[in-house]
């Protein structure tokens, strides 16, 4: 199958504040699960009339402290007794978003639990008393320098209850603790290796929670999606998962991949750039759902071109300001490429704007450039590469990957950002995790609840078999 285009009209909503940690209701019933590592204690409670077992801070590696700092993670030793996982996982050391501490639109992405070097934990939400249900493993975004599995935005209990799947959020080291490259003491990519070790633990233990180790789907946003593509290439990630959902991110994004010599400890002497172009995947049989948001570039503009885009009302640019903004955003590119791109994006509408006259159209086209360059084009390129390989496999009678694309396009009624920002980078996530179903008093409209149900159905159906989208309308 070459492409199945899924146009998903989606809404972007505010959810319960992520500045509040995942809360613990002590009236919940404790539940113990015995695994190869030992016994873990979580809690069982009802959600959406379904009994859900929750394990918020389950360790999958030895604490990366002391001599284990800046090196690949070590597997968790088997332990005696019972490990209590009912408190939320700490966040790994990271950079905090200081855009505006009183503004929900930025605070929702900041760590909402304590920050610690001892942070290699995962969170698990599993329907009670199930056997062989699909497993969905979430890798959060944040540019490899921020993020946490404990954000309220990523609470997996609604997705688990509504879709009858197990949802797992993995933590991994960030910034210099996860990606410092100073060989041999700090060989780099420790954060990706954290993810890889967690995937091995899941493969070996998820059956104890009722999950099917042969139906594991990775889904992630931005840097999380880029990480997933890395696992497609890495030999040690082979056969650890079966389907992938890439939400606005790919390893070939300009911000995602370092020089090849920095990646040998993870990709095992593969050049990741070359591997992507040659489809040299260590996991060749996975199915892909790849997506992008209509207004990816608006968030980039607000943060990195604040003089032009950090506005309450719709930004306007003169042609001269568009040139200056382009020079800032694409400084790594030669000048002639920047000018050529600007010429193309101005298009006919921009050519009609007189010099010196501010225009919403030029601001919109600048945002399009940002979104395409930093996110969308690389995701579409990856989809096209896989589809091209499928066409080749049709000739050679080899197996093919199912490749689907979705397009997230509708602004939310409760998005905390100004209305002009529309469907920005990351604002599909709360619908994937079922935020509109959690609390009827949050202000979500009925059609937004319906949309969230549809998205959870789409994602979980793909996680189940990798291709069944027959219910799309």
Distance CA 21, CA 23 (A): 6
Residue 153 near residue 16 (C-beta atoms within 8 A): no
Residue 70 dihedral angles phi and psi, to the nearest 5°: 70, 15
**Residue 296 appears among annotated catalytic residues:** yes
Residue 261 dihedral angles phi and psi, to the nearest 5°: -65, -15
Q: Does the N-terminal peptide bond of residue 388 adopt cis geometry, omega within 30 degrees of 0?
A: no
CA gyration radius, the chain = 22
**Residue 314 appears among annotated catalytic residues:** no
Q: Between β-strands 133-139 and 181-182, what pairing exists: parallel, antiparallel or unpaired? A: unpaired
Q: Please pick, among 107, 368, 425, 461, the residue that the annotation labels catalytic.
A: 425
Q: Please pick, among 150, 222, 282, 376, the residue that the annotation labels catalytic.
A: 222
Q: Please pick, among 150, 248, 282, 296, the residue that the annotation labels catalytic.
A: 296
CA neighbor of 9 nearest in space, from 439, 462, 431, 445: 431
Catalytic residue IDs: 222, 296, 425
């Amino acid at each position: 199958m070459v492409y199945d285009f899924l146009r998903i009209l989606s809404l972007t909503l505010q959810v319960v504040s992520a500045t509040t940690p995942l809360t613990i209701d002590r009236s919940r019933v404790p539940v113990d699960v015995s695994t190869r590592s030992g016994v873990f204690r979580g809690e069982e409670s009802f959600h959406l009339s379904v009994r859900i077992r929750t394990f918020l801070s389950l360790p999958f590696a030895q604490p990366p402290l002391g001599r284990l700092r800046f090196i690949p993670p070590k597997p968790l030793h088997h332990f005696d007794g019972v490990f209590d996982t009912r408190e939320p996982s700490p966040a790994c050391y990271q950079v905090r978003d200081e855009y505006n501490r009183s503004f929900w639109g930025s605070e929702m992405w900041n760590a909402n639990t304590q920050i610690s070097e001892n942070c290699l934990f995962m969170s698990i939400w599993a329907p009670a008393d199930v056997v062989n249900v699909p497993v969905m493993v979430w890798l959060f975004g944040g540019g490899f320098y921020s993020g946490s599995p404990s954000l309220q935005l990523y609470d997996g209990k609604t997705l688990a209850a509504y879709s009858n799947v197990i949802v797992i959020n993995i933590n991994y080291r960030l910034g210099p603790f996860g990606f410092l490259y100073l060989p041999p003491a700090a060989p780099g990519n420790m954060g990706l290796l954290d993810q890889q070790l967690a995937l091995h633990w899941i493969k070996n233990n998820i059956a104890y929670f009722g999950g099917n180790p042969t139906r594991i789907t990775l889904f992630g946003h931005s840097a999380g999606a880029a990480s997933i593509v890395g696992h497609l290439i890495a030999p040690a990630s082979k056969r650890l998962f079966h389907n992938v959902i890439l939400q606005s991110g790919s390893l070939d994004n300009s911000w995602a991949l370092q020089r090849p010599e920095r990646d040998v400890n993870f990709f095992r002497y593969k050049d990741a750039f070359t591997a992507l172009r040659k489809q040299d995947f260590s996991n060749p049989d996975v199915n892909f759902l790849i997506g992008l948001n209509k207004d990816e570039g608006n968030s980039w503009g607000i943060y990195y071109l604040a003089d032009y885009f950090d506005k309450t009302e719709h930004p306007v640019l003169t042609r001269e300001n568009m040139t200056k903004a382009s020079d800032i955003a694409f400084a790594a590119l030669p000048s002639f490429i920047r000018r050529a791109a600007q010429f193309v994006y101005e298009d006919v509408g921009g050519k009609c704007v007189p010099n010196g006259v501010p225009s919403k159209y030029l601001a919109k086209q600048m945002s399009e450039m940002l979104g395409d360059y930093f996110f969308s084009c690389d995701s579409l390129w990856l989809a096209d590469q896989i589809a091209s390989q499928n066409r080749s496999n049709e000739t050679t009678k080899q197996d093919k990957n199912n490749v689907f694309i979705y397009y997230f396009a509708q602004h939310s009624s409760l998005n905390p950002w100004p209305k002009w920002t529309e469907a920005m980078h990351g604002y599909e996530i709360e619908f994937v995790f079922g935020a509109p179903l959690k609390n009827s008093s949050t202000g979500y409209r009925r059609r937004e609840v319906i949309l969230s149900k549809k998205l959870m159905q789409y994602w979980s159906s793909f996680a189940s078999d990798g291709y069944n989208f027959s219910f799309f309308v």
